[in-house]
């Protein structure tokens, strides 16, 4: 297992287009999280799944954003009608639903989205 | 409303000296605190954590101190090494197992 994998690493899109990112978590991890990081800021929570259930969504996740984890394994994050303000690094993390020293959070390397 | 603040965007330290990174938080109900390290083009990696029942946790060259009355967290790295050069984020655990992150401090260790 090579950790949390995110694809693509980089995405450049025109304003108004739809984009979809994929995250493959560590295989035994049942929790999956999406965060967004803009320049000069720390990661901000967007949403998380336990297995296939989406348990929490941030107010940052507008109607144009949708996340799925259909079989409780990989997840996709779709942004519809992209805006320039969506330009950011989108980070995925996974963990087990148990308390261990760092809550088992392992981050992927992220997908950097640039909306032009 | 920034729940976690890192007021120093950058810090430069000579190799072998101590690096001290600071973090302030707003909510006294937070009970679990962590430091993450991030290299360019990589995701954050866990460094060290502390729960609110402790005031110090040490792991090798890294020590985290928690001052609950001041709502202040600090990370000490001693001795600092060039490979420690990275962006450091403090994070606090919110309900629902999500984290609030600070804005980060970019540490440069000068050889």
Residues A60-99: pLDDT tens digits?
A: 888 999 999 998 899 999 999 999 999 999 999 998 876 6
User: What is the chain A residue with the closest CA to B43?
Assistant: A109
Inter-chain touch B101–A95, beta carbons under 8 Å: no
User: Is A93 in CB contact (< 8 Å) with chain B?
Assistant: yes
Provide DSSP, A32-78.
EEEEEE-TTS--EEEEEEETTEEEEE-TTS-TTEEEE-TTSS-EEEE
Q: Which tens digit of pLDDT belongs to each residue from A37-61?
A: 998 899 999 999 999 999 889 888 8
Inter-chain touch B101–A102, beta carbons under 8 Å: no
Residue B25's SS3 state is: strand
Q: Which tens digit of pLDDT belongs to each residue from B67-90?
A: 999 999 999 999 999 999 999 999
Smallest CA–CA separation between B81 and chain A, in Å? 24
Positive or negative: CA dihedral B103, B8, B90, A92:
positive
- Inter-chain CB pairs, A–B, below 8 Å: 56
């Amino acid at each position: 297992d090579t950790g949390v994998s995110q694809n693509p690493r980089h995405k450049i899109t025109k304003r108004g287009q739809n984009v979809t990112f994929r995250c493959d978590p560590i295989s035994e991890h049942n929790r999956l999280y999406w965060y967004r990081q803009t320049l000069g800021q720390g990661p901000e929570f967007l949403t998380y799944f336990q297995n296939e259930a989406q348990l929490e969504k941030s107010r940052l996740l507008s109607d144009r954003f949708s996340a799925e984890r259909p079989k409780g394994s990989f997840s996709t994050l779709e942004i519809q009608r992209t805006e320039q303000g969506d330009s950011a690094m989108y980070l995925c993390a996974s963990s087990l639903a148990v308390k261990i020293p760092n809550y088992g959070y392992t981050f992927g390397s992220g997908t950097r989205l640039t909306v032009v | 409303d920034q729940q976690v603040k890192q007021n120093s965007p950058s810090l430069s330290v000579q190799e072998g000296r101590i690096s001290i990174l600071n973090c302030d938080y707003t909510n006294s109900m937070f009970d679990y605190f962590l430091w993450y390290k991030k290299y360019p083009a990589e995701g954050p990696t866990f460094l060290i954590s502390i729960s609110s029942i402790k005031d110090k946790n040490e792991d090798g060259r890294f020590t985290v101190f928690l001052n609950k009355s001041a709502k202040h967290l600090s990370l000490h790295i001693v001795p600092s090494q060039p490979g420690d050069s990275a962006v450091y984020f403090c994070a606090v655990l919110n309900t629902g197992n999500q984290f609030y992150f600070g804005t980060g401090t970019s540490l440069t260790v000068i050889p």
